[in-house]
Amino acid sequence: MSRALKSFDYDELFHHFQPIVEGQSAEVYGYEALIRSQSGIGPDRLFQTARRRGELFKLDTVSFETAIESFFSKEQAADDESLLFLNLLPSTIGNPLFSSFIADLEVNYVRYFRRIVVELNESTEEAHLWNTSNFELGTNLLRTLGFRIALDDTGEGASSLRKLVELKPDVVKLDRYFASGLSDSNQKQRIVNLMAELCRNDALLILEGVETEQDWQIAKRLGVTLGQGYWLGRPALLPFQQQA
């Protein structure tokens, strides 16, 4: 095991922000915060290391708070209405310390809660936590305080449709698999259109992994309203951060 995988410095962590784009206007609807490390350790390895060290809750909450601080402390982001999309693990939301963590955030950032979308991912390691009472309490707390809930990577896990019904998310992020080669796959087109119809009156649909103009044009014709991917914008520091 490499030294980098054994340890990392929390002070070296920062975020890139990837735009989420509205299909008709081509305007930025929001940004997803993606954790990065100055040492070059990738996000997956960061979280693997934290899990081994028993620091998963710490890393997840530090990432969540610093992304909020970075995004909303700048006047440009604080004054517009773009949304901030942030990932949280089910184990974090169900942790007994989660309510205290959110209470601390309220002190400085409660006015921005309505502009934060919490993305939930059905990872294999934490699939069993979705049906726990603590997880339900955590998601209910987020909703009560004005946070929006997103179901991330929908279509990747076997229970995605069940979660779509039970969680009633505000946002559904369709897995990047369905964007790849969308213009050449009739089957993927039918599934994307079906998801657009399912979400039409209940949730915003975001297609992840948009890599080509052709795939994006097809997606819009199928009813997708929002997209995210390298063709629409790569993760980077926000413009006002780069100028600082």
Q: What percent of the chain has pLDDT over 70?
A: 90
pLDDT tens sequence across 160-215: 788 888 899 999 999 999 999 999 999 999 999 999 999 999 999 999 999 999 99
Instruction: Give the per-residue pLDDT at 90.
Output: 95
Q: What is the sign of the dihedral through the CA atoms of 125, 130, 134 and 137?
A: positive
Q: What is the 3-state secondary structure (H, E, C) of the chain?
A: CCHHHHCCCHHHEEEEEEEEEECCCCCEEEEEEEEEECCCCCHHHHHHHHHHHCCHHHHHHHHHHHHHHHHHCCHHHHHCCCEEEEEECHHHHCCCCHHHHHHHHHHHHHHHHHHEEEEEECCHHHHHHCCCHHHHHHHHHHHHCCCEEEEEEECCCCCHHHHHHHHCCCEEEECHHHCCCHHHCHHHHHHHHHHHHHHCCCCEEEECCCCCHHHHHHHHHCCCCEECCCCCCCCECCHHHHCC
Which whole number is the average pLDDT over 92-113?
Answer: 97
**Cα 221 versus chain centre, distance:** 24
Q: What is the pTM of this model?
A: 0.92
Q: What is the sign of the dihedral through the CA atoms of 126, 130, 131 and 134?
A: positive
Question: If one looks up domain 3-242 in CATH, what number appears?
Answer: 3.20.20.450
Instruction: Give the per-residue pLDDT at 76.
Output: 54
Which whole number is the average pLDDT over 21-34?
Answer: 94
Instruction: Give the per-residue pLDDT at 78.
Output: 54
Which whole number is the average pLDDT over 32-37?
Answer: 96
- How far lies 123's CA from each of 42, 170, 176, 226, 244, in Å? 17, 20, 15, 23, 36
Instruction: Give the per-residue pLDDT at 37.
Output: 94
Instruction: Give the per-residue pLDDT at 3.
Output: 40
Close Cβ partners of 10 (under 8 Å, ≥ 6 residues apart)? 59, 62
Whether residue 71 contacts residue 106, with contact meaning beta carbons closer than 8 Å, is answered with: no
Task: Show the tokens assigned to 181.
Answer: 């080669």
Predicted confidence band of residue 81 (pLDDT cuts 50, 70, 90): confident
Whether residue 232 contacts residue 210, with contact meaning beta carbons closer than 8 Å, is answered with: yes
